[in-house]
Structure 1
């Protein structure tokens, strides 16, 4: 019990640190923004502690299938932290911030071709925006997109090479998928495969859909301004992290479906052998 509580407290602190990172590192953060960030960080930390301190999960999927959630957290934290360093380099330049800015500029320019996600997120910006903001958005998008691709590659290797999630441990489908109700709908295997395809498809489409939706709603609502560093950090992080997270979820559900299918095949083969022996 003590280990579970201490682990839940550590995860809560890490989530709070993630949310507070831009406010802690950047200068000239308004007081009202700081208060909102502190409130959100405390709330997220409390919810994370309650979730991981309980015996069974209620919201978080694959809680007992490490390192699925750890990999997602590391990817999001790395994105937020690196984008914060790049933004901090505008006022306090160092060799590290300049190197990250150069890397993001190279990656952003290399994938800024027609109909690419980076080109679409640049096109959603207002026409009269400062050119330096466009360069900042392109640089941040390059870094965030690189991290998301590296995360996907790492997870695919975990599944294909390391044998996630069943290597050296048992895997409970219903505990690790608390939001998946096996009693509704048709066959569980078909539903898992369908949800897997939907998540992967949405994950591939979201980098293109998010800029289009923001651009379409900018005429009805106040357009999002990227001149605020924190807005830039969180918007680009969400734009890169959410699609990668959905693709990871789709791959994970496909893996679970394949495990169930293999277990059914073995059970049917065993039943057929037992039936053959009884007939003989």
Structure 2
């Protein structure tokens, strides 16, 4: 009981710190929305605590299949911290910020080729955007996209080489996939494989679709300028993190489908062997 409460509280605090990181790191001159950020951080902390303190899952998937959510958290946290350092470099230069800006600039320029995700997010900016803003977005996008690629690669190694989630013990589908109903109809393996393919395809397309949708909606709504550092940090982080997270979810569901299929195959083999042993001589 105490361990569950303390673990839930720690997770809630970590989520709150993640959300508050830009407001805590950026100078006061850039920190006009700090109060709203702190309010959102407190709400996220409370919701995370309630989720992990409950015996029954509600929304968060793979709650007991570490380190899936930990890897996603670290990916988003590192992205937020590095993007904040890059934007902080403009008003409060530092050695670390300069290094991250240089690396991000190299990555952004290398990834900014026709029809690339980085080129798409740069084209999302309005035509009136300054060269400095375009460069800043390109630098942030290059850094964020690299982190997302590294996180996906790390999770793929975790699944294929380290045999996640089997090494954690028995996998409870109800606890780890609360939004998936095994009794909804149809073969569970087929549905998991279908959802895995959909998630992977959607995750691959989102870095291209998000800027296109935002650009198309600019005619009806106010275009996103990304002039505000907080807006730029969270927009670029979401653009890179959400597709990576969805792809990781697809890989995880595909792995679960393989586990169920293998278990079913062994059960059929054991049953066939038992029936063969009961045949009269």
TM-score, normalized by length of structure 1? 0.98
Cα distance per residue 1:184-235 (max 9 Å; x no partner): 1311110000000000000000000000000000000000121100000000
The structural deviation recorded for 1:168 is: 4.6
| 1:209 aligned partner | 209
Deviations 1:1-51 (A, max 9, x none): 1111001001000100011111111121455x1221111111000000000
2:178 aligned with 1:178: yes
Number of aligned positions between the proteins:
279
Paired residue for 2:75? 75
Shift of the alpha carbon at 1:55?
1.3
Q: Which runs of 5 or more residues in structure 2 are unaligned?
A: none
Superposed CA offset, 1:145-174 (max 9, x none): 010000001000101111100115221122
- Is 1:13 matched up with 2:4? no
Partner of 2:147 in structure 1? 147
Q: Which runs of 4+ in 1 moved over 4 A?
A: none
Matching residue of 1:234: 234
Q: Is the 8 A contact 2:65 2:176 kept in 1?
A: yes
Partner of 2:62: 62
Quote the Cα distance in structure 2 between the aligned partners of 1:119 and 1:153.
22
Q: Deviations over 1:61-108 (max 9, x none)?
A: 000000000000000000001100111111111111011000000000
CA distance in structure 2 between the partners assigned to 1:187 and 1:11 by the alignment: 35
Distance 1:95 1:37 in 2: 27
Distance 1:167 1:233 in 2: 36
User: Following the alignment from structure 1 to structure 2, what is the Cα–Cα distance between the partners of residues 238 and 127?
Assistant: 22
Would the alpha carbon gap of residues 45 and 168 (structure 1) be closer, same or farther in structure 2, given more than 3 Å must change? closer
1:101-116 matched pairs, under 5 angstroms: 101-116=101-116
Partner of 1:134: 134
Residue-by-residue CA offset, 1:113-142 (whole Å, 9 max, x unaligned): 000000011111111111000000000001
Asked if the contact 2:65/2:168 (under 8 Å) is kept, the reply is no
Q: 2:97 — aligned with what?
A: 97
- Rounded Cα–Cα distance in structure 1 between residues aligned with 2:168 and 2:184: 31
Identify the residue that residue 88 of structure 1 maps to in structure 2: 88
- Distance in 1, matches of 2:199 and 2:168, equals 28
Alpha-carbon separation, structure 2, partners of 1:67 and 1:105: 31
Cα distance in 2 for partners of 1:29, 1:20 equals: 14
CA distance in 2, matches of 1:174, 1:262: 19
Cα deviation code 1:239-260 (max 9, x no counterpart):
0000000000000000000000
Q: TM-score, normalised by structure 2?
A: 0.98
In angstroms, what is the RMSD of aligned CA positions?
Answer: 0.9
